[in-house]
Structure 1
Amino acid sequence: MRGNITPADIWKSLHGVLCVHKPRDISISTLKRHLINAICEGANRRCSPVEIPQIEMPVVEPHPISQAPVVVGLRKQPNYDFHPLVVGQPFRKEDIRVEELDYQQPASSGLCLLGINDGCDILESLRDRVWVNEYVLKGQLGRGTVENKIRGKVNQQCDYGEIFLCFF
């Protein structure tokens, strides 16, 4: 059985760096937006309901002769300063900051390193480090597609003989 978790407990865990798989044909901004929406929905669902405190409000009636307001008693009512319909949900999209380590084109797929809230400050130190990169290129030679899209319709085919190494 899960214990009650407060929004403060969840907020403390929303700092750091995480690795997410980015499918192709999805932009990095769309991926970040989906991630933020999922975090907000899950955290708001997970939070225990807010207990609304009761406050005592004076009951005021006019004096029968002078018509001056007179306190005749006290009445308990909910304090709407903390009501969810007044202050909103504990987690909002505007409160969560997500940044990527390196930009990826929408046509590419692979792992993305994302920083959340205070984890975004760590990304700068990660960028400054020298990383050994290994790239594997896979492709189909002799085929051309409409607008050179990955999933485009093949509209050209040709034979090829040799592959030359050239630098641009």
Structure 2
Amino acid sequence: MVTEAPLIWNNLRGIVCIFKPAEYSVKRLRSALIHKLCQDMNKLEVRPPIDYVAIEGNPSNKLSVSIKPNLADHPLVVGPRYQEQDFVISWSNFLGWNTSGVLLFGLKSGTKQAKYIRENKSARAYRVKGILGQATDNCYRTGKVIEKSTWKHVKRGHMEKFLSAMQASHQKKMFELCGVDMQSETAYELAVKGLLRPANSKIPVIYGIKCVEFQPPNFTLEIHCINEYETYLMHLVHEIGTKLHSTAHCTALQCIRHGGFTLQHALLMKHWDLANILDNIAICDQILRDTNSNIPQQNATLV
């Protein structure tokens, strides 16, 4: 591992995939990442203070030229060599306060890649947990219970049937927004090209939804969607409970996939150090190359 800070600094750019804990804001997570990077960078071999040339003596007589340490450039005077304002970091996907999971950050010139991913509207996958029998005022477990109901009549088959109908409804809606008939040749050609994306980025669309765990009253959904947001997913659980002639609220949300990035690639906070972050940047760069060659690539060789 190279210990010279300038070499590390030149290679510290690109996309980094991290794991966002629940009840932790994206802004706070960004600040924590910057703080950790600053700490680690300043522990390396940083640039020494620059000496200055001193010309002393009487101008009418012989002058003496000497090189002296420049105390004005010393870290104890100007502060650490690497400071938090030196880092430019932006996120490519925003996760709400209650949502955990895959979060992508663009470092330095990697902010261009982050912007491209954000504007490319990549599909995401979530694991959403809920519980039947109770409805809260905010559709989440932290809210006040406003209604209780029976839930033992709800079977897995009932839920899977409704989820299948909901998925079909969203797929039909996508083709309607494109102005084509689902049974036409044009619809087939559009489907072959890949996921249909709504022109309006504010319209949530579900590509797939299924129940992966059902232990009444608890259940877990896996949702593949685009343009979603935390409140939408929580209200979706509430709607499912209502349609099944019961009530329900969300207990946990986790983003398990963002485009080609999964939980396997996400760095936990305890693994935030320069070596792991540089390795993660290299992995993310390779994922971007494999999934979309149009995304701007970084040309630096990681150390």
**TM-score, reference length from structure 2:** 0.43
Figure out how many residues of one structure are paired with residues of the other and give that number.
156
2:37 paired residue number:
39
Identity between Structure 1 and Structure 2 (%): 24
Where does structure 2 lack aligned partners over 5 or more consecutive residues? 155-240, 245-303
1:51 paired residue number:
48
Task: Summarize the alignment of residues 128-143 of structure 1 with structure 2, pairs less than 5 Å apart.
Answer: 128-129=119-120, 131-143=122-134
Alignment counterpart, residue 6 of structure 2, candidates 8, 12, 19: 8
C-alpha RMSD over aligned residues: 3.2
- For the pair 1:60 / 2:57, whether they are aligned, the reply is yes
Q: Give the secondary structure class of the aligned counterpart of 2:23.
A: coil
2:117 paired residue number:
126
Whole-angstrom distance in 2 between the partners of 1:100 and 1:36: 13
**TM-score, reference length from structure 1:** 0.72
User: Where does structure 1 differ by over 4 angstroms across 4 or more consecutive aligned residues?
Assistant: 53-56, 68-76, 144-149, 151-157
Q: Is the 8 A contact 1:97 1:117 kept in 2?
A: yes
Are the structure 2 counterparts of residues 15 and 53 from structure 1 closer, same or farther at C-alpha, using a change threshold of 3 Å? closer
Whole-angstrom distance in 1 between the partners of 2:122 and 2:50: 54
Q: Is the 8 A contact 1:58 1:71 kept in 2?
A: no
Whole-angstrom distance in 1 between the partners of 2:38 and 2:140: 34
1:116 paired residue number:
107
- For the pair 1:96 / 2:96, whether they are aligned, the reply is no
Report the more deviating stretch, 143-152 or 25-34. 143-152
Q: Is the 8 A contact 2:23 2:98 kept in 1?
A: yes
Whole-angstrom distance in 2 between the partners of 1:52 and 1:20: 35
- For the pair 1:23 / 2:14, whether they are aligned, the reply is no
Whole-angstrom distance in 1 between the partners of 2:125 and 2:67: 68
Counterpart residue identity of residue 112, structure 2: D
1:64 paired residue number:
none
State the structure with more CA Rg: 1
Counterpart residue identity of residue 18, structure 1: V
Q: Give the secondary structure class of the aligned counterpart of 2:35.
A: helix
Where does structure 1 lack aligned partners over 5 or more consecutive residues? 62-67
Whole-angstrom distance in 2 between the partners of 1:125 and 1:72: 60
Q: Give the secondary structure class of the aligned counterpart of 2:150.
A: coil
Q: Give the secondary structure class of the aligned counterpart of 2:127.
A: coil
